[in-house]
Amino acid sequence: MAANTFGSLFAVTTFGESHGPAVGCVIDGCPPGLPLDRAAIQAQLDRRRPGQSALTTPRQEADAIEVLSGLSEDGRTLGTPLALMVRNRDQRSSCYEDWHHIYRPSHADFTYDAKYGLRAWQGGGRASARETIGRVAAGAVAEQVLRQRLPDLRIVAWVARIHDIPAHAVPADLDRTRVDSHPTRCPDPKAAAAMEAAILAAAEQGDSLGGWLELVIDGLPPGLGDPVFAKLDAALAGAFLGLPACKGCEIGAGFAGAVETTGAGHNDPFRWQDGRLITTSNRSGGIQGGISNGMPITARVAFKPTATIMSAQDSADDQGNNVTLAAHGRHDPCVLPRAVPMVEAMAALVLCDAYLRQRGQCGDPWPDPAHAPA
Amino acid sequence: MAANTFGSLFAVTTFGESHGPAVGCVIDGCPPGLPLDRAAIQAQLDRRRPGQSALTTPRQEADAIEVLSGLSEDGRTLGTPLALMVRNRDQRSSCYEDWHHIYRPSHADFTYDAKYGLRAWQGGGRASARETIGRVAAGAVAEQVLRQRLPDLRIVAWVARIHDIPAHAVPADLDRTRVDSHPTRCPDPKAAAAMEAAILAAAEQGDSLGGWLELVIDGLPPGLGDPVFAKLDAALAGAFLGLPACKGCEIGAGFAGAVETTGAGHNDPFRWQDGRLITTSNRSGGIQGGISNGMPITARVAFKPTATIMSAQDSADDQGNNVTLAAHGRHDPCVLPRAVPMVEAMAALVLCDAYLRQRGQCGDPWPDPAHAPA
Amino acid sequence: MAANTFGSLFAVTTFGESHGPAVGCVIDGCPPGLPLDRAAIQAQLDRRRPGQSALTTPRQEADAIEVLSGLSEDGRTLGTPLALMVRNRDQRSSCYEDWHHIYRPSHADFTYDAKYGLRAWQGGGRASARETIGRVAAGAVAEQVLRQRLPDLRIVAWVARIHDIPAHAVPADLDRTRVDSHPTRCPDPKAAAAMEAAILAAAEQGDSLGGWLELVIDGLPPGLGDPVFAKLDAALAGAFLGLPACKGCEIGAGFAGAVETTGAGHNDPFRWQDGRLITTSNRSGGIQGGISNGMPITARVAFKPTATIMSAQDSADDQGNNVTLAAHGRHDPCVLPRAVPMVEAMAALVLCDAYLRQRGQCGDPWPDPAHAPA
Amino acid sequence: MAANTFGSLFAVTTFGESHGPAVGCVIDGCPPGLPLDRAAIQAQLDRRRPGQSALTTPRQEADAIEVLSGLSEDGRTLGTPLALMVRNRDQRSSCYEDWHHIYRPSHADFTYDAKYGLRAWQGGGRASARETIGRVAAGAVAEQVLRQRLPDLRIVAWVARIHDIPAHAVPADLDRTRVDSHPTRCPDPKAAAAMEAAILAAAEQGDSLGGWLELVIDGLPPGLGDPVFAKLDAALAGAFLGLPACKGCEIGAGFAGAVETTGAGHNDPFRWQDGRLITTSNRSGGIQGGISNGMPITARVAFKPTATIMSAQDSADDQGNNVTLAAHGRHDPCVLPRAVPMVEAMAALVLCDAYLRQRGQCGDPWPDPAHAPA
């Protein structure tokens, strides 16, 4: 499959470099007749865009989406490809001229050169977080598709740890508004304040911080996903690791669950409850055998400290010389707050594709609206 | 894409249920002219098969591979689909009759029913680890394809932790022989002995243990992988999470690297060394921007404690009743030792597809054997 | 996509060479719960197999199908990959030893060598018509899937012309039984007799004949197919041209319609009839804009004269020599009668995939059985 | 695979409706480092665009391409997605308001409604020939990729018949300049003049004409294509039938070859000539067993008379009424002249994908430029 396409039935192809004319995506396979809520798309893009707070890069981009195709005159999806585009505006390629021949540490400069023999040396090129605009926009569409049938669907990610600061008090009924109540997107106010201070201190020193997000998805029925290679957890992990700076993913009890308990303690007992099968614990994270079991899907996703830092670093150029690199320019001292809508978007893309695949192979999972999962 | 197919150019489709007639795979896109080393395939299958030690299920299966197609009369690959099959022998479906209508906790019984409306209730069906026979066989072929051009390629996984017992002394030049020197496949002898005792004790109590594997890949040149969705780390994480019982994956410094250091500490400085670009640390785990940088690829992969345990558990049946399940039958008290060749196989499949894709899009990365990476 | 896989949701991968151990297919994405009618599969394989009449190669193969996976104990599809296999029996590789280094004219010997650098020189290898066993079996499964929802679906191909002998009197309500009433599979008895005589005369002279098939599909609702690349007619034409010896395909009025009438004469007028929209002519062949319009789908498919002939021919070997080839062995003097089930199978595969895709993207086209198309 | 994507390694996704904001394509998998010749792209678009002669629709569109991504600052391909876009300008949706609820005969109005439940009723929507802008642009890029390695590659299509007027004198060394020397794109001057008169006469009467194109591809080495489903002829036929108004395709001697000669007459004898294997006839049309044999690839492609005509026709609306439709607006009285670059583009896409696939699976077919095919 094409490397820049994600999904099989709800297939999203993104395009664009950070310093080229535009970034965007083409969504092929969107169900027809959906009244597209552009404001909902823009809302997720606004959570992703730079310049939204003191914690993010000051690059100024409104990131206003333009729909190039796929909509009827009254704004419903036609079922044909939905092309969405954002023009790049505040590019300042000149900032990068000093580094034209330098491989920035832990960036993709060298590996793109090794792969392609050339690269867009202005900014991150294709490896820039600007590429995720297409994903976030497509994910917002995917979420709308899902929500038509699953009105209680909730896909919420939040910052659960920055550097050595974990969040503790995270409410079970978290929503995006609450997540956004602090610029860190950590819903534990105390931890959020500490995180903000830590990020600003790191920025002050020209340094950066990493951390991890947590994600919960509920309102989802059992039966989504596939055996084997296309397991729902495999798809989610692959989707998240495809995000810039992501270094790990665990589902349900994850790494800790693998070593802190035994099978007797890890298994999730089934119980019938009001005619619905539930588990009384959820170490499986809502997925068993690669298929959703109707319990909340939970995951944790790690992002490394931003590779762009302002302090001097050992590095090398593309001419065989070792050099010292003193970065300048604009960057995020911590990608986590902006990664929240990216993770939600990738989750929505995985789920929407799984839903359409399920409907294709097995028939509509909830043909009778009265029996759709609530 | 089809859910049971992995890879785009080196495309592997597996088939088979644990208690059906056979399991196997079809490999489409294998480069032609490779003298197939069947013994090397069988060697990996033998590391995967049940009954190989006291730590594994006593189900007796020789798992001898039959090649159904794709070979010339002198045993070279024709470039056409290579179909590999293993007959199921020691099935004992009767063991499962008591549970025909019972959903075993943390198995895929319920989710398959929810998805398909029926399931192969004898054994794990498609969710059984027997399905991985096709993957391990295909991975062994992939490794041979890679090794033709990359004679120093090394793909080695080992057990790095079982329950609360971590491995400490793991040699840098680990190979499979050394890994196999203990039935746990932990190369730290002290830890291995403790792990073995812990697994046997858990088995004695009808319980099971989890843990994690570590994986190193070296002898690989820079330039493999793709930007965005098909990042090499995304592909690896998706590949591993698609294995039975896998709950998490991290690349390079992973979760710990995200929170235990800052950008200045996490970045890997570049240096030219003997005309080759290296990094003086490897927190990136050999992958930057989704593309290999020529340093060793490192990953950690978590497997939960085996869901099949022998003690009584709360569960439910498919008729709306809550029940108590007392399992019997054959099972692995810990999947980790047998997961080693599975992880290696999935890594080989990811790399082989990335190599062929790279050769397709960008031309042979090492056209002159004299300059192939050593 | 893998070259040996056909379809996206109902994805069929075939494997096997004519003189290897086995041929077969893996069907991924089959809807679950279908009580598989093995006799119906075998019936189509029997129409395809050699030795069925004096008009076909005397190679003796029962071509009895074995199901390796994907079925429940009571014979219903599990939704997991359905692997079907036929062992090769009557192989006689020795017949081909004389030609080990010779490129038979208009066969695939040379082109396989040019592509792969080696080939299975015994028989046709992968280019043999034996490969179509997997397609015919999979097509028979696809037809069963379709028939669950479309009980009046009819997919019937027949021999419409052999060499200079056209069929004239073809009844509108043709079915397979009637097609099979003559070994030529031409339903016009007079033409059939002449065709049979012509084929036998050609065989007598060591020569071979070509011709074309016609195909009708009805009982199909409007709305199947896709715009652009995946048009239903594009998919059908690609499917048929992928069959051995096929050299052309036209849909509806085809080539003649393009030049024998004008737009005013070619357009199919719409009319409402009993609440259903029909066209009063069908030069479109049931497909408009790549999507079925509910009228019968019609196509014509050309097959060249069999390349294997018994008279002496100029040819060349793989050592740079020009040679004279005098073929021997077994062959079909005319592939058309056996191509009938192959064309039906490919049509069923195209339609089944289109149906599942439609259900995936747009929802069940006929959610209420009472309103399913009759 | 996504319905609006063509190709696997050189994967082109088109987007856009005739009366939406824009049409275009995203090319994923383009080899890196190609200095993109935009003028060559525009040249093919100019051959495709409306308003180029009295024989084409007067809709005025410059169809100037904008590159949105995938190029380095010095205009070379980056290996990342190349997004190309053309804004729609001269749309005049108001022309279509009368037909908002009417299904135009032999258009896609009804079938899109049947499939999606709604449609872009202004113009042809996604079924419009404007969608082919993306294909023609992508095909021009594919041709540049191929030409880097195959400098003598020639892909030329021409009008070989309009209605009852066949072309006779077609030179063997035809090129695009010669084809374009007459607005009909028929290279036989006498026939061209007659065709032009016939088209203008049909237009005068509000009617339209069909016909067929012929295509030749040479300068291509043996070994491109695949066995079975992805045969080169299958891919070409599927590609052409996916074009608007296309109703048939034949390869080499096609339909006539199937019935006008026997095997002895149809087979192409092999001969060694100057160290290269050729065939002394070419009824195979350059493809044997689905793989190129190094001889010219030849095909014939039929296009029906344009469905849009100006005379009154019986039709129906979407409310259950039969109506009489008197069309107005702009249309092509014959699509053939503008179909020439479309057929060339689809051929280039098929070949480029086959070339990259071949390089991926089997290694560079011509690693030594000195031995590249001339």
> What is the C-alpha separation between D100 and D103, in angstroms, rounded?
8
Q: How far apart are CA D289 and CA D287, in angstroms?
A: 7
Cα–Cα distance between A120 and C369 in angstroms, integer?
Answer: 56
Structure tokens at D339: 């179909």
Three-point CA angle A144, A150, A153, nearest 5°: 80
Q: What are A182-218's pLDDT values in tens digits?
A: 999 999 999 999 999 999 999 999 999 999 999 999 9
Tokens standing for residue C195:
């065709």
Residue-range domains of chain A with CATH: 90-371 (3.60.150.10)
The candidate with the shortest Cα–Cα distance to C60, out of C99, C32, C20, C87, is C87
Interface test mutation site (partner C, options B4, B353, B357, max chain C beta carbons within 10 A):
B4
Distance from CA of D73 to the nearest CA of C (A): 32
Token duo for residue B138: 């295909």
pLDDT for the residue numbered C162: 98
B3 touches chain A (CB under 8 A): yes
pLDDT, tens digit (0-9, with 9 covering 90-100), for D7-61 = 999 999 999 999 899 999 999 999 999 999 999 999 999 999 988 888 877 767 7
Chain B residue at shortest CA distance from D78: B362
Given an 8 Å threshold on Cβ–Cβ distance, is D284 in contact with C106? yes
C152 C-beta neighbours (distance < 10 Å), count: 11
Distance between CA atoms of C40 and C45, rounded to whole angstroms? Answer: 9
CA distance C223 to C220: 9
pLDDT at A94 exceeding the cut of 90: no
Span A300-358, pLDDT tens digits: 999 999 999 998 999 999 999 999 998 766 678 999 999 999 999 999 999 999 999 99
Burial class (CB in 10 A: 0-12, 13-18, 19+), A51: middle
- Condensed to tens digits (0 to 9), the pLDDT of residues A246-267 reads 999 999 999 999 999 999 999 9
Flag whether residue C253 sits within 8 Å of chain D, measured between CB atoms.
Answer: yes
> According to the model, what pLDDT value does residue B369 have?
45
Question: How many Cβ pairs within 8 Å bridge chains B and C?
Answer: 161
What confidence tier does D117 reach under pLDDT thresholds 50, 70, 90?
Answer: very high
* Of A164, A92, A139, the residue nearest A328 (C-alpha): A92
- pLDDT, residue A266, reads 97
- CB contact set of D300 (below 8 Å; sequence gap of 6+): C255, D160, D212, D213, D214, D215, D249, D250, D254
Best probe of the B interface among C27, C36, C65, C68, by most B CBs < 10 A, is: C68
Measured CA angle at D86 (ends D84, D88), to 5 deg: 155
CA distance B317 to A133: 46
Which tokens sit at B181? 């020197």
Which chain B residues have a beta carbon less than 8 Å from that of D31? Answer: 361-363
* C-alpha span between A322 and D116 (Å, rounded): 59
Which pLDDT score is estimated for A50? 84
Q: Is D79 on the interface with B (CB under 8 A)?
A: yes
Chain D segment 317-336 residues within 8 A of A by beta carbon are none
- D360/D17 Cα distance (integer angstroms): 34
Chains that touch C (3 or more CB pairs under 8 A): A, B, D
CB B359 within 8 A of CB D360: yes
> What is the rounded CA–CA span in Å between residue A236 and residue B241?
9
Contact yes or no for A230/A356 (Cβ under 8 A)? no
Question: CB neighbours (10 Å) of residue C199?
Answer: 27
Q: Which of A311, A121, A348 is nearest to A217 (CA)?
A: A348
User: Which of C14, C17, C26 is the best substitution to test chain B (most B C-beta atoms within 10 A)?
Assistant: C26
For residue D93, the model assigns a pLDDT of: 62
Contacts of C370 (CB under 8 A, 6+ apart): none
User: Tokens standing for A284?
Assistant: 């499986």
The model's pTM: 0.97
Distance CA C3, CA C285 (A): 29
SS3 C348: helix
**Residue pLDDT, tens place only, B136-168:** 999 999 999 999 999 999 999 999 999 999 999
DSSP string, D113-124: HHHHS----STT
Residue D370 pLDDT > 50: no
pLDDT at A367: 58
Q: What is the CA radius of gyration of chain C?
A: 21
Encode burial over B130-158: b for 16+ CB neighbours within 10 A, e otherwise.
bbbbbbbbbbbbbbbbbbebbeebbbbbb
Rounded to the nearest angstrom, the minimum Cα separation between D224 and chain B is 13
CA separation (Å) from A165 to A188, A334, D364? 11, 13, 52
Q: What is the tens place of the pLDDT at every residue in D223-279?
A: 999 999 999 999 999 999 999 999 999 999 999 999 999 999 999 999 999 999 999
Quick one: tokens of C219? 């009982």
Q: Where are the beta strands (DSSP E) in C17-105?
A: 22-28, 66-69, 82-87, 102-103
Q: If DSSP states are collapsed to H, E and C, what string results for A271-304?
A: EEECCEEEECCCCCCCEECCEECCCCEEEEEEEC
Locate the DSSP E strands across chain B.
5-6, 11-16, 22-28, 66-69, 82-87, 102-103, 154-162, 165-166, 211-218, 246-251, 270-273, 276-279, 287-288, 291-292, 297-303, 312-317, 322-326
d(CA B79, CA C66): 25
Question: Residue D57: what residue type?
Answer: T
Contacts of B121 in chain A (CB under 8 A): none
H/E element, C287: strand C287-288
Of C303, C160, C197, C249, which is closest to residue D258 (Cα–Cα)?
C303
CA–CA min distance B143, chain C (Å): 19
Percentage, residues of chain B above pLDDT 90: 83
The pLDDT assigned to A326 comes to: 80
Please give the structure tokens belonging to residue A328.
């300048």
Helix (H) or strand (E) holding A255: helix A254-260
Per-residue exposure over A131-153, b if at least 16 CB sit within 10 Å of its own CB, e if not: bbbbbbbbbbbbbbbbbebbeeb
**Closest by Cα among B345, B166, B116, B165 to B240:** B345
Q: Does C8 reach chain A within 8 Å, measured CB to CB?
A: yes
Dihedral angle, C-alpha D92, D93, D98, D103, nearest 10 °: 120
Q: What DSSP letter does each residue of B331-346 carry, written as one string?
A: --S--HHHHHHHHHHH
Q: Identify the segments of chain B with pLDDT beneath 50.
A: 368-374
Contacts of A107 in chain B (CB under 8 A): 288-289
How large is the average pLDDT for residues A217-240? 96
Rg (CA), chain B: 21
User: Is A29 within 8 Å of D2 (Cβ atoms)?
Assistant: yes
**pLDDT of D309 higher than 60:** yes
pLDDT band at D91 (very low <50, low <70, confident <90, very high): low
Is B212–A259 a contact, with Cβ atoms under 8 angstroms apart? yes
Task: Average pLDDT across each block of 10 residues of chain C; the chain has 374 residues. List them in order.
Answer: 92 96 97 97 94 77 91 96 93 69 94 94 88 97 96 97 95 94 97 97 95 97 96 98 98 98 97 95 98 98 95 93 82 93 98 96 69 40
